[in-house]
Structure 1
Amino acid sequence: MRLSYKLSDAIHILAYIEILKQHDLSSKSIAASIGSNASVVRNLMLDLRSANLLTTHQGIAAPELAKSPDDISIYDVYCAINMTHNLLNIDPKTNPNCLVGGHIQDTLNQFYGDIETAAYEQMKKISLANVIQDILK
C-alpha cells in the first residue's frame, strides 16, 4: 500500500513559510526542506491557495499565509489538499460466503466512520500555530 504524505508536506509548507518568512521561500528551497521536488511543492501550494490558506504572486517567490496560524487548523489543511482516500480503508475483496468475510466490511465501515469523525474533530482543535510553537521549542 502506498502512503500519502500530502498532509504532512502541506503543513510543512505552511510552517516553513511562516517561520522562515524572511528567507528564501522559493518552491525549490521549500522542497529541499521537505526532501521532495519543487513541482510537488508548487502543486500543494496551488491547493493551499485555492482553499484561501495561502497567497502567492506570479513570478515572485514570496508566498504568505492568508490567515493567522491560529486560524488555520490541521483539518483546514486536510480539506485543502484534496485527499482522495479515507483515513482508514477496508479490504473490498473479502469472501462473502464466509461468516467473517461476509460481514466484516459493514461492521468495520461503521466503526471506521466513528473513528474518522473523532479524528476530524481532533484535527479541528490543532492549529498551525500549535505546530509552529512545537517546532520552535
Structure 2
Amino acid sequence: MGLSYKLSDAIHILAYIEILKKQDLSSKSIAASIGANASVVRNLMLDLRSANLLTTHQGVATPQLAKSPDDISIYDVYCAISMPHNLLNIDPKTNPNCLVGGHIQETLNHFYSDIESAAYDQMKTISLAHVIQDILK
C-alpha cells in the first residue's frame, strides 16, 4: 500500500487559502504550491467543503475558510478527507496455526486502538492556526 498525502495536502490547502487570501486562489495556483495536479486540489476542496471547513463558489476562485483557523483542528481535517482512517494496519494473512500468527492480530488490535486514540486526541489539540503560525515564523 502506498503512502497517502491527502491529510498533508488538505492542511496545505487550508493554510494556503488563509495565508494568501489576497492572491490567486485557483486550484491551479494551489496545486503549484503542493506540487500536485489541480484535480487533486479540487477533490480535496470538495471534501473540505462537505465537512464545512471551506466555502467555495463555482466558477470563481475565491475559496475561504468556513471557520476561524483556531476552530479547525488537524483532526477535523483528517475526518473530512476521503481516505481510509486507520493510522496503523495489521497484516490479515498471518498463520492461524502458529502460536504468534494465531494471536498477533487480536493483540495488536488492542494496542493499536490505544495508540490511535492517543493520536486522535493529540490531533484535536493542534489547530490550523498553530500550523499557520509555525509556517509564518
- The aligned amino acid for 2:64 is E
2:41 is aligned to 41
2:105 is aligned to 105
Identical-pair percentage: 88
Unaligned segments of structure 2, at least 5 residues: none
1:117 aligns with 2:117: yes
- The aligned amino acid for 1:23 is Q
Aligned length: 137
Partners of 1:119 and 1:83 lie apart in 2 by 17
1:9 aligns with 2:9: yes
Deviations along 1:94-131, one digit per CA (max 9) or x if unpaired, are 01111100000000000000000000000000000000
Superposed structure 1 runs of 4+ greater than 3 Å apart: none
Question: TM-score w.r.t. structure 2 length?
Answer: 0.99
Correspondence list, 1:17-28, <5 A: 17-28=17-28
- The aligned amino acid for 1:119 is A
Partners of 2:104 and 2:53 lie apart in 1 by 39
Unaligned segments of structure 1, at least 5 residues: none
* 1:55 aligned counterpart, secondary structure: strand
Measured after TM superposition, the shift of residue 84 of structure 1 is 1.6
Partners of 2:17 and 2:85 lie apart in 1 by 27
- The aligned amino acid for 1:39 is S
- The aligned amino acid for 2:71 is D
